Amino acid sequence: MSDIQGERAFLACDWGSTHLRAWVLDQGGVVLRGREFPLGVNRLGPGEAARRFFEKVRPALAAEGLPALLCGAIGSNVGWTVAPYVDCPARPEAVAAGLIAAAEGVWIAPGLRCEGLGGQCDVLRGEETQAFGWLGLEADRQAGRRLICQPGTHAKWLVAEDGAIVRFLSAFTGELFAVLSDHSILRNDGRADDLGAFDEGRAAAAEGDALLNRIYAARTRVAGGGADAASTGSFLSGLLIGAEVAATPALLGLEGETVDLVGGAGLCGRYARALERRGVSSRIWDGDAAVRAGLLALARLRGLV
């Protein structure tokens, strides 16, 4: 294995639909270098991911000679190459066994698949690595049941039992917010920092039902109710997140259970606020630390470090 300052190291990448986060980690998981790139797979053309990785990402982190492990949408049908899904229930060992080689020294982690609503399948990529990393950071997380929420473009709600991911549901919340904010009559600057308007939107979400009807309130509160148009983004954020936190735990049969929020502090904070208003307790955990721990665990299981 390659060596940096006396440590065996590897390049760990969380490569999603909107951006890429990359770190050089030593064998103990210490971050030696890190960068974020605006190279989400939704912005790349066919074949572009491999070229950008070798020409930009690796050189930027001085990681040309290191093994690399990637997770996220980069392993989907719109990414570098497809890493077939692992079916739930799943443990880290199954994901590690499903790593595929995208190029010499470059490995991509598979996502997970389970039965979703209405008999349709549900899928995720990258969140499994983050969830397994979070579960592995504390020994007591390996026992019993956990309800994990990972806010984002496509929010995920995972049910973990005794260290295995047994089921999950996805929500289109983040992408719907972006589409409505950029391309609809509800156009706004995408900011959601007006907590009063956010709470108003959360209350308007009720139990998450009739969402298409309730979204129209983001229009009428301004056009007919005299609300400040500058608060539309905050109201819409509260409405969509409120509908998600009201409906999803109930769909999983876990309504009222404590939620572990894993992700960025700002977005997780809004989810925690919406959950609190429903009388549901939650805890916020650092998403980057969790995904790094997950990538390190997979690298160890596969013998990359």
pLDDT tens-digit profile of 190-213? 999 999 999 999 999 999 999 999
Helix (H) or strand (E) holding 273: helix 265-277
Walk me through the domains of the chain, giving residue ranges and CATH numbers: 3-114+125-136+288-302 (3.30.420.300), 171-286 (3.30.420.310)
CA distance 151 to 275: 13
pLDDT tens-digit profile of 274-298? 999 999 999 999 999 999 999 999 9
pLDDT tens-digit profile of 110-129? 999 999 999 999 999 999 99
CA distance 118 to 104: 41
pLDDT (0 to 100) of residue 112: 98
The mean per-residue pLDDT over the stretch 67-93 comes to 97
pTM score > 0.85 for this model?
Answer: yes
pLDDT tens-digit profile of 157-171? 999 999 999 999 999
Contact 264, 40 (CB under 8 A): no
Q: Which two tokens stand for residue 176?
A: 């719907």
Query: For 240, how many CA atoms within 13 A lie in the half-sphere containing its CB?
Result: 25
pLDDT (0 to 100) of residue 5: 44
CA distance 87 to 77: 17
- The DSSP letter of residue 121 is E
CA nearest to 130, candidates 105, 98, 155, 107: 155
- pLDDT for residue 1 is more than 80: no
Q: Tell me the pLDDT band of 8, cut-offs 50, 70 and 90.
A: confident
